[in-house]
Amino acid sequence: MKFNTIIYSIKQGTKNIGRNKMFSLASIGTMVACLFLFGVFFAVVMNINYMMKEMEGSMCLTVLFDKGTTTERIEEIGNEILVRAEVREVVYISPEEAWESFSSDFFKGHEELISGFEGDNPLQDSDSYKVYVNDVSMQNALAEYISKMEGVRQVNNSESTVKSLISMNSLVTYASAGIIVTLFLVSLFLIINTITIGISVRKEEIAIMKLIGATDFFVRAPFFVEGIIIGFLGAVIPMGVLYVMYNKVVEFVVSSYGTIAGFIKFLPVQDVFVQLLPVALFLGMGVGFVGSMVTVRKHLSI
């Protein structure tokens, strides 16, 4: 394709947007709303997945043993658990470590009381394992397996937390998909209307161009450019707004809800937008191109 043809197509595509200001603005506005919501849901889903991965690193099963279980049997249990494919790590907690952890939390601010238990560990015979898994969704099945092992008294897991995280992630994903698909269809409809009007306005001009030997591509290219520009603007505007808003929302949550910020970590804005921006541009310009292509094929009989 010649350079002059590219320049001509860009100029004409831009002029078409100016000629149909109302429909062009409606198309861009709908695309902005669509991709803004897409960006919000995308960022939320990314952060939920990130938080789940972070929580997976700290969430574990606690395995407690029957009273009188020998050290040898405890080691055997640990080895049997460790060979399981879903297990990432098994950490042994001795009675001394358990008491140290408990007393530092329970007697916080009154550490002098700990000395009264010197030589007397209330948590004697409280050996345990902390079992970390590769995927939290495997935790329940693993807990059931371990609870049936000889010498195991109890297995504590965070089943409710796991279910809540998985349910939240699924709910946000399905809700966002439904809303985004609906808005994309509206955007496609408006883009088609915008370009249809552009074709109607230029029908005589197009007929003359064909009579003097203009190629099909030369006639169609400006309308493709028009759809792509609408999609590009519809993607760039909400991404710029979201980039600014993301940092402000994170700062607000961290400053206003200190307790939440203590155990919830948000992805840095750069990590979100390195994935979000290319996807948004592809979707925006893709919908614009598809809309223009459908319209040209339907209304431009050349």
Rounded to whole angstroms, how far apart are CA atoms 189 and 182?
Answer: 11
Q: For residues 261 and 54, is the Cβ–Cβ distance under 8 A? A: no
Phi, psi (degrees; rounded to nearest 5) at 68: 90, 0
- Within 8 A by CB and 6+ apart from 172, the residues are 41, 44, 45, 48
Task: Please give the domain boundaries of the chain with CATH numbers for all domains.
Answer: 3-55+162-299 (no CATH), 60-156 (3.30.70.3040)
Rounded to whole angstroms, how far apart are CA atoms 208 and 214?
Answer: 9
Phi, psi (degrees; rounded to nearest 5) at 156: -100, 130
Output the pTM of the full model: 0.62
pLDDT in tens, the chain (302 residues): 566 767 777 787 777 777 777 777 877 887 888 888 888 888 888 887 787 777 666 678 888 888 888 888 888 998 999 888 888 888 888 877 766 665 666 556 555 555 555 555 555 667 788 888 887 777 888 888 888 898 888 888 766 666 666 676 677 677 777 777 777 777 777 767 766 766 666 667 667 767 777 677 777 788 788 888 888 988 899 999 999 999 888 888 777 765 555 556 788 888 889 988 998 898 888 888 887 777 777 656 55
